[in-house]
Amino acid sequence: MSGGLAAPERPVTDVGKDLLTVGIEEEFLLVDPATGAATPAIEAVLAEVPDELRGQVQRELQTSQIEIGTPPGLDLGGLRHSLGLLRTGLAEAADAAGVRVLAVGTGPVAGPVPPVVDNPRFHRMIERYRLLVPGPGVNGMHVHVGVADQEIAVQVLNHLRPWLPLLQAATANSPFYEGVDTGYASWRSVLWERWPSVAPTPWLESHAQYERSIQELIDSGMMLDEGMLYWYARLSSRYPTVEIRIGDVCPSLDDTILLAALARALVDTALTDIHAGRPALQVGHHLLTAAHWRAAHDGLEGLAVDPLGGGLRPAWHLMRRLFDRLRPALERHGDLALVTSLLGRMHTRGTGAARQRAVYARRGELADVLDDLAQQTRG
């Protein structure tokens, strides 16, 4: 709900010349190592974060959450290195504070509801929205891709709309909630969608319409401010970026880097299409809503809504088709070999949700799931 990203070093839209920067924000759950329940330990953990990382670690909405943000860059290897340092530093700070940090969409284990961080804006949110907040916290992943021209960035949003459910499916990492299997791959998505401004990005004609829409939602009382625009893709209110914000936080660095590469390739492909005068695929709001629900329910292990013709297809079939669509952009950024490898690994091992269920199936113990998540989070 907040951002810790530094300004992009070289946001560009000139297709064919410059590459696109990418940066990542990840939110994590703080849990009691004995019970596995979410614990209000944000201040204790922040006190243990090394000085050199403090500028990239911050509070989130609830005292059981903590967020990191990478500096933006062009090279995925550098991005992975930054994330590795942040995740390791955060895990060590949590150890020193007597808690655990988990890369998981929401709390697998039941427990008392942690309070909201003492922040005037957060208190206004509680006053306005009341029972939407209670729970252990919902933890997402946001990918920022540098696009400086706001008019073009709005066109990019139109081009992204049909493909974001597949990225959501790939991030699914919260099948367990309060001690039970929810039947969903991403229960975080279900909890998150209770907020009234969470929705697929609408079709937009211009940046002026984008700005008018935000103001109308604020005037209606549905949002307190622009920061509460929780569309699945939006223009960042702080940085010259397109922000894709549909996924659970990923359990491992491999998953995170894969999703960042796919997100950047989607934006790059959109810019190429805009430059060539190719229109965005128009998909009805109702079908996009269905596609996002299906992504939350099935992840990549089940079925997905086909944006090209409707109907259900195996999710991995649609992911392979998307990969083929993104291949030129992946090649242009030097990411093709890495994404091919990481996507193959995810196909073999499953999404985070599938891996959690596989661990649980061995002994029927959520403690095993938490142990595995803690290990993956550290990298």
- Per-residue pLDDT, 4: 44
Retrieve residue 328's tokens: 């030129």
Tell if the pTM clears 0.75, that is, is over it: yes
Element of type H or E holding 304:
strand 303-305
Taking the C-alpha atoms of residue 103 and residue 376, their distance in angstroms, rounded to an integer, is 8
CA 202 from centroid of its chain's CA atoms: 19
CA distances from 340 to 20, 61, 172, 320 (A): 20, 36, 19, 10
SS3 234: strand
Q: Cβ(133)–Cβ(63) under 8 Å? A: no
| Helix, strand, or coil (residue 339) | helix
State the Cα–Cα distance between residues 37 and 176, nearest whole angstrom.
12
Q: Which of 98, 2, 96, 103 has its CA nearest to residue 57?
A: 2
Q: Are strands 57-59 and 65-69 parallel, antiparallel or unpaired?
A: antiparallel
Domain ranges of the chain: 22-378
What is the amino acid identity at position 292? H
- What is the length of the chain? 379
pLDDT of the residue at 136: 93
Query: pLDDT value at position 160?
Result: 98
Question: What is the tens place of the pLDDT at every residue in 211-270?
Answer: 999 999 999 999 999 999 999 999 998 899 999 999 999 999 999 999 999 999 999 999
For residue 31 the two structure tokens come to 């849990």
DSSP secondary structure string, 107-143?
A: -SS--PPPPBPS-HHHHHHHHHHGGGS-SS---EEEE
* Euclidean distance between CA atoms 108 and 3, whole angstroms: 25
Cα distances (Å, whole numbers) of residue 267 to 151, 155, 163, 359? 14, 10, 11, 35
What are the C-alpha distances in Å from 72 to residues 3, 6, 11, 63? 13, 7, 9, 27
pLDDT value of position 9: 37
pLDDT value of residue 74? 95
CB 240 within 8 A of CB 143: no
The residues with which 314 forms a beta bridge, in sequence order, are 303
Average pLDDT by consecutive 10-residue portion of the chain (379 residues)? 41 55 98 98 98 95 96 94 96 98 98 95 93 89 97 98 98 97 98 96 98 98 96 95 97 98 98 97 96 98 95 98 98 98 98 98 98 94
With 0-12 / 13-18 / 19 or more C-beta atoms within 10 angstroms meaning exposed / middle / buried, residue 6 is: middle
pLDDT of residue 157: 98
Amino acid identity of residue 241, one-letter, is T
Spatial CA neighbour of 3 closest among 60, 72, 87: 60
> Which CATH number applies to 22-378?
3.30.590.20
**Residue pLDDT, tens place only, 258-284:** 999 999 999 999 999 999 999 999 999
